Amino acid sequence: MNNFIVKKSKKYVNNEILNWSAFLRLKKMKSQDTRLKYFYQQGTYNEETPLSDIQFLALDFETTGLDVDQNSIISIGLVPFTLSKIFCKDSKHWYIRPQDKLEENTVIIHGITHSDLTEAPSLEGILVELLDHLKGKVIVVHYRNIEREFLHNNLYNLIGEGIIFPVIDTMQIEADLKQIKNWSLRKWFSKPNVESIRLANSRKRYNLPEYSAHNALIDAIATAELLQAQIKYHFSPDTQIKKLWI
């Protein structure tokens, strides 16, 4: 597996995995879980596919906290889109019963009530449906550490196997762009200001509207809009997917 993985910190794309198609084929062979096996079997796009031909899926989680070992997913929102259209019709939102024990007094998290969660299905309960939405698409997130790692970890705890797939991280794109912009300045080595690349602040740079409500689905849509804007600003419909996915 190691020969597929190259750690790079280059200009604005971190190509951690060079050949996603081959990587997913390998995962398919190794996977023990039939659901995941089926998911990997759907594969992904050839790395040279232009962005205009890609079916994207924006994905957002809300979690009980930021510690991937201690906390777990409590809601999932997703919406499929292309370079030109975001399809609300096919959007989806779930509440998930968390794996960690909810303290009785932490009644409301992100406006989600305790009863929303105790009556909600477990992650495993919606896994087939979730994978059905994800399969074959290029997943788009804002800050991949949350979505990628929480899904991997939460699944691992549930079924003894994690999950991995290529993502586009709109936050990483913003961070990379800032790096490039600062390249000529002395600040090139400094860390990007995290505050400025949060979802709401990133959207402002593209004159996208502010959203008052926050939940996993609205944030997924907000992320989809942000990627559309980023591509219109900085890339082209002919840009190859390998330039953006990680």
Applying CB under 8 A, which residues contact another protein?
Answer: 77, 81, 84-89, 91-93, 206-209, 211-213, 215-218, 221, 224-225, 228-229, 232-233
Q: Which is nearer to another protein, 27 or 92 (CB)?
A: 92
Q: At closest approach, how far in Å is the CB of 6 from another protein?
A: 33
Question: Of the candidates 126, 151, 189, 161, which has an alpha carbon nearest to the alpha carbon of residue 60?
Answer: 151
| Cβ-based nearer residue to another protein, 24 or 54 | 54
Question: What's the closest the beta carbon of residue 198 comes to another protein, in angstroms?
Answer: 18
Distance CA 33, CA 65 (A): 28
Phi, psi of 36 (to 5 degrees): -70, -35
**Of 17 and 244, CB closest to another protein:** 244
Mapped onto helix, strand or coil, the DSSP state of residue 80 is strand
186 contact partners, CB below 8 Å, separation of at least 6: none
3-state secondary structure of 102: coil
Question: Is the Cβ of residue 18 or residue 218 nearer to another protein in the bound state?
Answer: 218
In angstroms, give the least distance from the CB of 146 to another protein.
18
Rounded CA gap, 169 and 185, in Å? 25
DSSP category for residue 121: P
Given the complex with another protein, which of 28 and 205 has the nearer CB atom?
205
Closest distance to another protein from the beta carbon of 47 (Å): 25
Structure tokens at 3: 């020969």
Smallest separation, CB 164 to another protein (Å): 27
CB of 231 to another protein, least distance (A): 9
How far apart CA 237 and CA 22 sit, in angstroms, is: 24
Nearer to another protein by Cβ, of 53 and 149: the residue is 53
Reference 199, options 180, 182, 224; nearest CA is 224
Quote the CA–CA distance of 77 and 141 in Å, as a whole number.
11
Interacting residues of 208 by C-beta distance below 8 A, sequence separation 6+ = 222, 225, 226, 229
83 vs 139, beta carbon nearer another protein? 83
